[in-house]
Structure 1
Amino acid sequence: MTTVEISYVGGPTAVVSLGGVRLLTDPTFDAPGEYPIGSRALVKTTGPALAAADLGPVDAVLLSHDQHPDNLDAAGRAYLAGVPLVLSTASAHDRLGAPVRALPAWESVELGGVRVTAVPALHGPEGSEPLVGEVTGFVLSGEGLPKVYVSGDNASLDRVREIADRAGPFDVALLFAGAARTPLVPDATLTLTSEQAAEAAAILGARHVVPLHFEHWGHFTQDGPTLTKAFAEAGLTDRLHLMAPGESVRL
């Protein structure tokens, strides 16, 4: 089977190379600082390991959502103007226009020999979508290729179970973790906790897990060490690949 290569830029941003196709997740290239969102601000603590200009060409961007600056920042928005295709939500298409293409859940597009399928995601507890907005995840598949799940900012294990039932098992899962918390939804996390990430790995049957979006922002309440501990307690240490920004892994 062909391998998949993942290069970690920082935050939710990574280059996924699969079957000769290069895909970029949630582009964030701004420097550390405070980034307003409504009456609040999100605090970025670390900049990207690679600048947008250093990435080389990509075939498409997989944008989980556009409404939060920790998933699409000012430099990321500028970057979108130079890519051939952005796959995202209907809301993102309405707000951003071209080159964003709305990809509803369980619909697919073919990019070379890679099929990109949008899958459900929920950015918080049940009922939170009117507050946090629409998000999506993605499944990458193709003849002779590893099957890859990109969670986006999903906090729902029920959505993970649905995806596993319809599309699993997976070779690689890119799980957005960090147990994000903000005053917008004060009593629940907006992304997977470390324990939920380990449970998601088991549900998905994922042979390899690469965490994304668990560091570099002040609203994350868990981090790399808690992921390491949770996967160890679940007996899944051999599946976890924690990368430093700028590193790549071939799986």
Structure 2
Amino acid sequence: MSFRKQFGGKLTKEIIAQYEQSPNWKNGAFENIEPVDMSMGLSKMPGIIYKQLSNRKVRQPQKPLPIQSFDQEAFLQNSDQAQMIWYGHSVLLLRMSGLTILIDPMLGSNTTPIAPMPTKRFSENTLQLIDAFPEIDLVLLTHDHYDHLDYASIEKLRPKVKQWGVALGVKRHLEYWGVAGTTITEFDWWQMMTIGKLIFTFTPTRHFAGRGLRDRNKSFWGGWVLESPQEKIWFSGDGGYGQHFKEIGQRLGPFDFALLECGQYNDDWAEIHLFPQECIKAALDTGTKNIMPVHWGGFALSYQHTWQEPVEDFVKAAEAAQLHYTLPRLGEIFNIQDQITEKWWLDFD
């Protein structure tokens, strides 16, 4: 695998001219609605690197997390309700209104392929899961960070995928990796697309993007709302708490179900990832009653919490707010009405 390939497509004057048409492109880069302080300072970096390399044993399971085998017949059966499967971190496969959709399909084994020290996935042989997947009608990508957009996964998925819906700026990576540009639609915040009975809307988050040293915020970031005649599902995407949640709720909510980013938070980057208690605030802001934590159960990207803490604190906060939640095992088929509450992660302490 080419090291250069990992970085994705290069910026050109023509591409930047396209980005400049976005109201969210200012001063040579995409910007958040509310400012985000990304300057941790060189003086802090040695300490941050030391913390990241320390205590890895408590930040990952003591044995690999198993993934249930894919049951294609059960997944594809006709249903008025969306059928979903979570594969750890932010990978979601769902069947909704007759369409098969895959969100943020990072199924590789290492989320830091350009770094000297690997950050290994909690589960094994995840790329092979793609072999069992049916044809994918649409892949949705929230942004281009390595824990969401993976070269090896895209390479393996490419023959199975009909269309791609991606954050503005991600198309150049997919084209560089061999995906036909005619199959890719880029989205700015609030832009929509309809396929069959489903409406897809790209929603704001408070985050950042980029895959190298020179492309910080030269691509965009966001979340997705999927709306059928029966259901509204919100996939929050990565990002810290902010005023945008109330606007999402006012414009598109309330939601029947939300998959909320919950994990890899840290006081050193508190503005760009949700803490568990903030997940609940986001659910309340958007009028969502049924929720599920994602962005955990895949990788140890934060040195501040154990691998189980995000879900455990999420459960406490959800119960205090009297919100319904579900906690499926990796690979388990579920729908928005399910309330799976078994604390299965305790088996992997």
> Under a length normalisation based on structure 1, what TM-score does the superposition of the two structures give?
0.84
- Once residues 321 and 242 of structure 2 are traced to their aligned partners in structure 1, the CA distance between those partners, rounded to angstroms, is 16
Q: Is residue 46–residue 217 contact of structure 1 (8 Å, CA) maintained in 2?
A: no
Q: Which has the greater radius of gyration?
A: 2
Does residue 94 of the first structure (1) align with residue 185 of the second (2)? no
Per-residue deviation at 1:232?
A: 1.7
1:216 corresponds to which of 298, 307, 317: 298
Which residue does the alignment assign to 2:194?
110
2:220 corresponds to which of 100, 112, 134: 134
Change (3 A) 1:191 1:132: farther
Which residue does the alignment assign to 2:63?
none
- Once residues 187 and 147 of structure 1 are traced to their aligned partners in structure 2, the CA distance between those partners, rounded to angstroms, is 30
Change (3 A) 1:226 1:45: same
Change (3 A) 1:50 1:224: farther
Per-residue deviation at 1:188?
A: 2.0
Q: Is residue 169–residue 204 contact of structure 1 (8 Å, CA) maintained in 2?
A: yes
Does residue 226 of the first structure (1) align with residue 313 of the second (2)? yes
1:56 corresponds to which of 134, 146, 163: 134
Specify the SS of the correspondent of 1:24.
strand
User: Please, which moves more after superposition, 152-161 or 17-26?
Assistant: 152-161
Which segments of 5 or more consecutive residues in structure 2 lack a partner in the other structure? 1-78, 176-180, 209-214, 337-349
2:155 corresponds to which of 75, 78, 81: 78
Q: Is residue 64–residue 71 contact of structure 1 (8 Å, CA) maintained in 2?
A: yes
1:44 corresponds to which of 114, 121, 128: 121
- Once residues 169 and 49 of structure 1 are traced to their aligned partners in structure 2, the CA distance between those partners, rounded to angstroms, is 35
Q: How does 1:1-251 map to 2 (within 5 A)?
A: 2-31=80-109, 33=110, 35-37=112-114, 42-47=119-124, 48=126, 51-66=129-144, 68-82=145-159, 83-97=161-175, 98=181, 99-123=183-207, 130=216, 134-142=220-228, 144-181=229-266, 186-188=268-270, 190-220=272-302, 221=305, 222-236=309-323, 239-251=324-336
Per-residue deviation at 1:215?
A: 2.2
Specify the SS of the correspondent of 1:223.
helix
How big is the alpha-carbon RMSD for the aligned residues of Structure 1 and Structure 2? 2.6
Give the aligned residue type for 2:280. A
As a proportion of its length, which structure holds more strand? 1
Specify the SS of the correspondent of 2:131.
helix
Which segments of 5 or more consecutive residues in structure 1 lack a partner in the other structure? none
Specify the SS of the correspondent of 2:279.
helix
- Once residues 73 and 165 of structure 1 are traced to their aligned partners in structure 2, the CA distance between those partners, rounded to angstroms, is 33
Q: Is residue 160–residue 200 contact of structure 1 (8 Å, CA) maintained in 2?
A: yes
Per-residue deviation at 1:26?
A: 0.3
Which residue does the alignment assign to 2:4?
none
As a proportion of its length, which structure holds more helix? 2
Per-residue deviation at 1:74?
A: 3.0
Deviations for 1:160-200, whole angstroms, at most 9, x for unmatched residues? 1110111111111111211434xxx9342532111111111
Q: Is residue 207–residue 221 contact of structure 2 (8 Å, CA) maintained in 1?
A: yes
Give the aligned residue type for 1:242. L
Give the aligned residue type for 1:205. G
Specify the SS of the correspondent of 2:231.
coil
Q: Percent identity?
A: 24
Per-residue deviation at 1:234?
A: 2.2
- Once residues 140 and 23 of structure 1 are traced to their aligned partners in structure 2, the CA distance between those partners, rounded to angstroms, is 10
- Once residues 106 and 53 of structure 1 are traced to their aligned partners in structure 2, the CA distance between those partners, rounded to angstroms, is 34
Count of residue correspondences: 239
- Once residues 127 and 311 of structure 2 are traced to their aligned partners in structure 1, the CA distance between those partners, rounded to angstroms, is 17
Change (3 A) 1:36 1:50: closer
Change (3 A) 1:91 1:54: same
Specify the SS of the correspondent of 1:157.
coil
Deviations for 1:57-98, whole angstroms, at most 9, x for unmatched residues? 2210110112x2211223322144221111111210133233
